[in-house]
Amino acid sequence: MDGTSKPFGNILEKPYFFPGLLLLILVPLYIYCLPPGLPPYRDSGEMASAAVTLGVAHQPGYPLYIISAKLFSLIPLGNPAWRLNLFSAAAGLSGISLFWGLTAAEFSPAAGFAAALLLGFNFTLRTVCSVPEMYAMNFLFAVLLLSSASRTGARALFLTSFLLGLGMANRMDLVLSAPALLVLLWPAFRAGGIKGLLKAAGFFFLGFSLYLYLPFRSSGWPLFDWSHPADLKTFLGVITRKSYGSTLDLISLNYAPGELFWPNLKVYALHLWQNFSFALLLAAAGLRAEWLGNRRRLLAIGALFFFSGPVFLYMANMPPNPHALAIVEPYYLLPDLAAAFWVAAGLFYLVRVLPKALPGLALASAAAIGLVFYTGAHGSYRRNMFAAEDYASDVLRSAPPGSTVVAKKDVQLFSLWYMQSVKGLRPDLKIVAQGLSGSPWYNASKKLYRPDLVLFNLNAGGEEAWKAFAAANPGGVYATMDADLPNQTPARPRGLLNEVYPGKEPAAADPWVFYSFSRLGLDYRDFFDRDLGTSYAQALVSAAAKKSASGALGEEAVKGLRLASLLDPDIPDAPLYEGFYYSARGDWASARNCFKASADVYERLLKLSGEYYSLPSLREGLAASSAYAWLNYGVALEKSGDKQGAESAYLFAARRNPRLADAHYNLAILYWNRDWARVREELEATLRLNPRHAQAAGYLQQLKRQQ
């Protein structure tokens, strides 16, 4: 029996066992969960387009990612977007494997395995390892830097310096790891003196010199050439992001420095619990162990956590709404790396000081890992995520031949870029980025690749710019639902598009019949996927609004409104217009329910606006808009015979929007024959707010004659 059990016991001591088991678990899982094509995530469409065409991405250009992803995309596997998703998975898995090697060397193979597997199930890491963006490679370089800086001597200093410069050619925020690296390499810095420091700087700039790709590639005017950094001044503006003046990140400037620090810290604390669960107790033990055994390393990993976590959140100062949090989330990976390191340290320490507790510690570690996997498993399964390509295909199908399509939001616009430039769909269409339409470099690029397109500043030029744009591009101008149109600009809903200025070729009469709704009804939908669903919902509501204005709102439009509520429950206009449908038919009970549903959506949004620390202007706008839903709810109550409920609804509408004249007018009618003094008061209030209110003026004159 001893002879048979010994080989089995020794297998745990084999050098390949733990890394092999780690990859055996994670590699199939990561590949199996990959999106099948372009995922709806932040800048994925742009990065995929720039990588495949070897272009220049938005600031600061990300040359390391673009070049590496381009090389990987040449592997003949699947479609281009899936290859780039696989590239991110490979980068993330490499980082996890290196993390195991680091923690196995510093502590033990088993402790490193537990911490690495926990990190491998991290929801944020699995997210960035499934999209064609730079975050997975950033994670890989962070682990590489910790591994190289953990060595000793001048070679470690020079290698780390080179890797830091090269890694920053992928993402600049890797500089947040510099304090940790400085602490780890401090003995080498001291030993090398000024000469060693200069050599280290030379190695750093050697890696950082990959940014020279930008001016060289830009000088050839690639298809994607953001800011055209071909000259020195523009090049410096690009790598410092000074020329990147229109990004959602700038919303933080609307808040006082540090105003949103604590709300964001609470969100990150919840993230830590969801991705480490009670393994955080092991991390706490790891902090204790490092304090007792290696304080310099504790200071280094602590610096990584502090500067990439709390300090970054303080500087970012982003409101904790779903969109902003989706932008901030990938930055959690650097402090998560520190937490995972402490988990390995804690497990190793506890096994040493409590050897008899080994079975319990192993069971607790397995339970924590299992809980983290269970928490994030549903959201990490993305094999059926077709939303980005489906949306872009539907938009492109809806536009007439030779027309121009204007889009604004990142995911919507970049998905169109990818489908046209990489997959070759609808090359006859002219896709225009509204936010870039006034940029000289964008105009120059379009003149080169689309000489038939004449651009105007559609972002700030107003109605006259749109008119001139349509006149110069006679094929017809259409806009996606996310584009901002001036108030007086004509717009007619055509499926997912607004027909702004039609051309000679008619648009599809009913494009909805060939839209890809079958793949929008997935259980899992993250923020960006939901935002594409919102585009469909907005299109359905816009079509219903147009029909309602002409008195042609019918049952088919009502079905569309209900579908809109399913695609985005936070659009209050969907139940509002359905209420109009029922009220026009005298079905006041159904109308009442719809108007109340609309008002409830507004109340939910107002509550969330407080939780999200929304700007006062947004909250005030929501409150004012909600008054109209409450007003119509009051009308439905009054028509149903509930005068007391109607009075409460009118009064609430007047409080929500003190300038809503119809709230006072409806109160006057409600008090007619009941309280003449109140009738007069409400009619006078109506006319103060709207002197042109003919009905109120007529009733007030009638009242004066009676008195």
59-97 pLDDT per residue, tens: 999 999 999 999 999 999 999 999 999 999 999 999 999
Which string of DSSP letters, residue by residue, matches 396-458?
A: HHHSPTT-EEEE-SHHHHHHHHHHHHTS---TTSEEEEGGGTT-HHHHHHHHHH-TT-----T
* 3-state SS string for 238-294: HHCCCCCCCCHHHHHHHCCCCCCHHHHHHHHHHHHHHHHHHHHHHHHHHHHHHHHHC
Collapsed DSSP state (helix, strand, coil) of residue 31: helix
HSE at residue 657, side-chain half, CA atoms within 13 A, is 22
Q: For residues 388 and 42, what is the distance between their CA atoms, to the nearest angstrom?
A: 11
Name the β-bridge partners of 253: none
Cβ 83 vs Cβ 73: under 8 Å: yes
Cβ 287 vs Cβ 298: under 8 Å: yes
Q: Which two tokens stand for residue 73?
A: 């995309």
Name the β-bridge partners of 541: none
pLDDT (0 to 100) of residue 515: 86
Name the β-bridge partners of 492: 499
Q: For residues 295 and 298, what is the distance between their CA atoms, to the nearest angstrom?
A: 5
Collapsed DSSP state (helix, strand, coil) of residue 598: helix
Which string of DSSP letters, residue by residue, matches 608-628?
A: HHHHTT--HHHHHHHHHHHHH
**DSSP annotation of 225:** B
Q: Provide Rg for the chain, Cα atoms.
A: 30
- pLDDT, one tens digit per residue, over 424-440 is 999 999 999 999 999 99
Q: Which two tokens stand for residue 404?
A: 């121009």
Q: For residues 20 and 24, what is the distance between their CA atoms, to the nearest angstrom?
A: 6
pLDDT (0 to 100) of residue 408: 96
Cβ 340 vs Cβ 119: under 8 Å: yes
- Say if strands 404-407 and 477-480 run parallel, antiparallel, or are unpaired: parallel
The residue behind tokens 């997210």 is: 127
Cβ 215 vs Cβ 227: under 8 Å: no
Geometric angle at alpha carbon 586, from 585 and 592, rounded to 5°:
110
pLDDT (0 to 100) of residue 510: 78
Q: Where are the alpha helices (DSSP H) in 457-554?
A: 462-472, 527-549
Cβ 184 vs Cβ 145: under 8 Å: no
Closest CA to 625 of 593, 650, 603: 603
Closest CA to 68 of 166, 205, 158, 149: 166
**Angle of the 154-168 helix axis to the 135-149 helix axis, nearest 10:** 170
- Cβ burial of 383 (10 Å; 0-12, 13-18, 19+) is exposed
Collapsed DSSP state (helix, strand, coil) of residue 691: coil
Q: Which two tokens stand for residue 466?
A: 């749109």
Identity of the residue numbered 566? L
Q: Which residues in the chain show pLDDT less than 70?
A: 1-9, 11-12, 243-250, 506-508, 518-525, 707
Collapsed DSSP state (helix, strand, coil) of residue 294: coil
Cβ 124 vs Cβ 336: under 8 Å: yes
Greatest Cα pair distance, the chain, in angstroms, is 113
Cβ 34 vs Cβ 92: under 8 Å: no
Q: Which two tokens stand for residue 480?
A: 């996606």
pLDDT (0 to 100) of residue 707: 66
Q: For residues 482 and 678, what is the distance between their CA atoms, to the nearest angstrom?
A: 45
pLDDT (0 to 100) of residue 4: 46
Geometric angle at alpha carbon 405, from 49 and 490, rounded to 5°:
155
Cβ 595 vs Cβ 613: under 8 Å: no
Q: For residues 69 and 49, what is the distance between their CA atoms, to the nearest angstrom?
A: 11
Residue 424's CB: how many other CB atoms inside 10 A? 8
Q: Which two tokens stand for residue 291?
A: 């304090």
Collapsed DSSP state (helix, strand, coil) of residue 191: helix
Q: For residues 400 and 291, what is the distance between their CA atoms, to the nearest angstrom?
A: 68
**DSSP annotation of 185:** T
pTM for this prediction: 0.94
Contacts of 115 (CB under 8 A, 6+ apart): 99, 100, 103, 340, 341, 343, 344, 347
- Say if strands 492-494 and 497-501 run parallel, antiparallel, or are unpaired: antiparallel
No. of H helices and E strands in the chain? 33, 5
Cβ 130 vs Cβ 359: under 8 Å: no
Q: For residues 621 and 610, what is the distance between their CA atoms, to the nearest angstrom?
A: 13
Q: For residues 238 and 235, what is the distance between their CA atoms, to the nearest angstrom?
A: 5
Name the β-bridge partners of 430: 404
Q: Which two tokens stand for residue 221?
A: 């005017």
pLDDT (0 to 100) of residue 12: 66
CA 202, 206, 211, 214 torsion: positive or negative? positive
> What is each CA distance from 558 to 318, 324, 497, 553, 573, in whole angstroms?
38, 33, 19, 8, 12
Q: For residues 464 and 458, what is the distance between their CA atoms, to the nearest angstrom?
A: 9
pLDDT (0 to 100) of residue 3: 44
